[in-house]
Chains A and B, each alone.
With several copies, the nearest count.
Chain A
Amino acid sequence: MNEPKNIVEIKLILEAALLTAGEPLSLDDLLHLFAERMERATLRMLLDELKADWAPDSQKATMELVQVATGYRFQAREKYAPFLTRLNPEKQQKYSRATMETLAIIAYRQPVTRGDIEEIRGVAVNPNSIRQLQERDWIDIVGQRDVPGRPSLYATTKHFLDDLNLRSLGELPAMDDFVHPEMQLDF
């Protein structure tokens, strides 16, 4: 195909680009599609036409052309989303034992370093555990211990308390709450 000669061809190229881009395309991106110079106003008008071509009552009803912060993209109309989501069902994940124990140690012994956690658990800290808890905004770094390597000190956040419905760490069940006589924890 040579450089497009008419509006129909230009629109086809725009459509192909927007359907395959995998991310929104800005006006500047779209102008790069064509060797010849095009006014931004013209491009905008063509995009409006393309949008109309994909109207809900047309033959091209599955997608809609929308403008988002970084540009234009085709997206499946909302009513298809429940079906498409079935292709990538989300697993109701659970934190691993390592992550939960890391969290417990940080909650009860804070502020602690990785080294402290390792000493208590007797195994190396899984960086994923720390990352998961940080991404959840349940723990953060509150300083460095002043020893060689200056390891980071981890503590729980307010957000963690909120999510567990606690007003303060003091409301965490204290040890003696579950060290019942009959439990005879084998420490």
Chain B
Amino acid sequence: MQTELPQSKPSMEARIHGELLAHLPQDLYIPPDALAVYLEAFEGPLDLLLYLIRKHNLDILNIQMAELTRQYMLYVERMQAIKLELAGDYLLMSAMLIEIKSRMLLPNPADVIFEDDPRAELVRLLVEYEAIKLVAQRLDELPQVGRNILVADAHYHQISIVAPPEVSLDDLMDAWKNVLKRARHFQHHQVGRMELSVREHMSIILRKLRDALTNGESLVEFSQLFDVLNDGIPKLVVYFLAILELTREGLLRITQQAAFSPIYLQVGHSA
């Protein structure tokens, strides 16, 4: 037996003021994958219940519990049968429905809901959820920035260029003093001009090696580092000290195949 499947998500259509628009599969056979899609369209047990109520034209204020419970259980069983990941909320609702139904069987079932009607809480939940469902849809239909509202956003030139913070030599000194004050292991350490020059040249050498590496050369010949003719003795000494210090710190490796053959420098030991 073939059953007509809804054109779109049923709950999207079943929502409007009890106007029932969706087609619900009436009969038993629905291809399981189609059923899964169909059932997943429900946002939860309240959504499903609302759908059933609207579909069967049940009065939300005077719900026929037996019929509603039967319908609901049918769906839950189908969901379980096709192993749809069933939120615990659905089972909780089953329990609630069954409980209400059994309480309705007690004497004095009322047609009109009053305060201690067993259905009161369920009705409250359904009414509130339905109101939220409707209003959520209306919110979604409101014009929205980015969707149907586009805000004027023309360009203008910021006049002043963002000035980077001013840093003076004094600021730098103050910072360094602070560091030294706190770092106890600097106790006996004095940074002299010579040592700073060495450290500067350590950076220069590393930079040259880095650039050479970018060009595919892992080795740089020692003599390429400086200009013997123009650099002057002090500078060469500083270079030499920088190389020694880099080597000591393991940042540089020096290789020489044989005495008097070219000396090569490379980063670390393998890079």
Interface range for B: 35 or more
Contact residues of A: prevailing secondary structure: mixed
The answer to the question of A177 belonging to the interface, with a C-beta cut-off of 8 Å to chain B, is: yes
Q: Which of B128-180 contact A (CB under 8 A)?
A: 128-140, 142-160, 162-169, 171-180
Q: Which of B181-204 contact A (CB under 8 A)?
A: 181-184, 186-194, 196-197, 199-200, 202-203
A34 to chain B minimum Cβ distance, whole angstroms, is: 16
The answer to the question of B84 belonging to the interface, with a C-beta cut-off of 8 Å to chain A, is: no
Which residue of B115, B135, B145, B160 is within 8 Å of A175 (Cβ)?
B135
The answer to the question of B61 belonging to the interface, with a C-beta cut-off of 8 Å to chain A, is: yes
B23 to chain A minimum Cβ distance, whole angstroms, is: 19
Which B residues are CB-close (under 8 A) to A176?
130-131, 134-135, 190, 192
A93 to chain B minimum Cβ distance, whole angstroms, is: 5
Which A residues are CB-close (under 8 A) to B61?
179, 182-183
Assess the A187–B152 pair: CB atoms within 8 A. Answer: no
Q: Roughly how many angstroms separate A146 CA and B250 CA in the complex, as a whole number?
A: 7
Assess the B152–A142 pair: CB atoms within 8 A. Answer: no
Which A residues are CB-close (under 8 A) to B190?
174-176, 179
Assess the A163–B167 pair: CB atoms within 8 A. Answer: yes
Which residue of B129, B147, B154, B199 is within 8 Å of A19 (Cβ)?
B154
Tell me the B residues contacting A by CB distance below 8 Å. 11-12, 17, 43-47, 60-61, 87, 89, 93, 113-115, 120, 123-125, 127-140, 142-160, 162-169, 171-184, 186-194, 196-197, 199-200, 202-203, 206-207, 209-210, 249-251, 267-271
Pairs across A and B, CB under 8 Å, 17 listed: A18-B152, A20-B150, A74-B151, A80-B156, A90-B163, A108-B196, A111-B251, A143-B210, A143-B267, A144-B268, A144-B271, A145-B250, A168-B197, A173-B173, A183-B127, A185-B180, A187-B183
